[in-house]
Chains A and B, each alone.
Chain A
């Protein structure tokens, strides 16, 4: 069976914000644990806390997790990256959205152990080292695309992916491809405006 299309992994996180992280990941042997852990028995028996390595916002991080630890719990509790929010904790609200190997996913439904060796981008990884906001963060501020802000980190990660996936052609498509992020304050029109603004600045 042939691979028929190029997965989004090929461009998204690296091109957009991680710079050379792909090369760094390879040089550090990320994912080696994944490959080594296999033959026969479980990677983790009940109660064990195996070590995993993640490339989080361009930094190699090694932590120990239980099999049941979700990615959002690992980010918040093990790594102190509390920008990623837990909303419904059931994959319904999108507040926990992160980019995992370039794909946007709900980190609340992702087991940390299952993504050992992966690259993760969270809201903390978007601004440049000098503190200059990512264009999408800037656009959310300029377009007043939030009120309480709780859904905002997930909205911003999802919005970046929405454009990179090529699903921001018009407002209808943006709404469709942003539907996995709920906003109880109802900032949707301003969120769409922010996505359109970034899309247009990239085109221009």
Chain B
């Protein structure tokens, strides 16, 4: 690992100052960043360790809004019994991610900014990676392995997949992200935080230099209680999603009043499937309509040779997640 200067500010103002400097990276739990530094993908001149900002560690399961400090730990929040009852999809998408050790270190603000697992991004032996070295090409599209790549949201420059789980629950339920930077505070709709790769895959979010995520909030709606995160993967635990779905439903008798669907393991960014949601609203939720919604969610998919399997798998996962959510809406587990 290349050496670097290390800052440990105890005030947000000092953290913003230090993080605004050219070549500075923000360090929280470090489970992504330290890994990327070890393999030479990130070589910051300075790390600004924000874990001294202990005011950002808390979280609150409120009746109208859930509030999460950016430095709350994945393990603590994912294992919270109150959250598991109030918003199963938010808890499940945390405890089904990574390993217990990683979840104890990783913080929520860092989690939503997790970097792709594209093997060509992560292996500097490959010269082609538009995300790591803008303009160098894309080894995945140039005949590489594409099993782990995006089938939604990709571009001719980059098909790297956003690997996170919690983000799918956040985008499905209209979360907001609070930040503070050199320009002051702002609140960002979670759906606006990440940007599609287009021709500039090195730009992943709208965050500006020195802008620090301070918290995340989620409005409480009826569908949050009848929600579920279903994650398909190559092994039972501790693996990234091959396809996943964060869903929730609100039923009035047999009629869908509200439904939320977001897709993980398949897209370049956290991915809300609004057309699939619209196909269900005002009608019944049955295995047939759930499967139709699954197909609609992947109608625009552009599969590569290695990732074609995700279309059927993803549709099945959406359907399965919806049936569990319906069961929860009816008082089941």
Residues of A at the B interface (CB closer than 8 Å) are 1-5, 7-8, 34-35, 37-47, 66-68, 70, 89-91, 94, 97, 103-106, 109-111, 113-114, 158, 161-162, 165, 167, 175-181
Query: From residue A74, how far is it (CB to closest CB) to chain B in Å?
Result: 14
**Chain B residues near A109 (CB, 8 Å)?**
30-31, 34-35, 102, 105
Tell me whether A4 and B38 are in contact (CB under 8 A).
no
Please pick, from B5, B35, B57, B76, the residue contacting A44 in the complex, using a CB distance under 8 A: B5
Complex CA–CA separation, A66 to B1 (angstroms):
11
In the complex formed, the residue of A with least CB distance to B105 is: A105
Q: A38-B14, A180-B101 are in contact. List 12 more A-B contacts (CB 8 A).
A: A3-B59, A5-B76, A7-B76, A38-B10, A42-B18, A42-B46, A43-B7, A44-B6, A45-B5, A103-B73, A114-B8, A167-B79
Chain A facing B: main interface SS: loop
- A104-B52 contact, Cβ under 8 Å, with A4-B59, A42-B46, A68-B3: no
Complex CA–CA separation, A4 to B45 (angstroms):
36
A-B contacts, CB under 8 A, total: 140
Chain B facing A: main interface SS: mixed
Interface size class of B (residues with CB under 8 A): 35 or more
**Chain A residues near B52 (CB, 8 Å)?**
34, 38
In the complex formed, the residue of B with least CB distance to A44 is: B6
Tell me whether A114 and B30 are in contact (CB under 8 A).
yes
* B27 sits at the interface (CB 8 A): yes
In the complex formed, the residue of A with least CB distance to B7 is: A42
Tell me whether B237 and A5 are in contact (CB under 8 A).
no
**Chain B residues near A111 (CB, 8 Å)?**
6, 27, 30, 34, 47, 49
**Chain A residues near B31 (CB, 8 Å)?**
91, 106, 109
Complex CA–CA separation, A46 to B52 (angstroms):
20
**Chain A residues near B203 (CB, 8 Å)?**
none
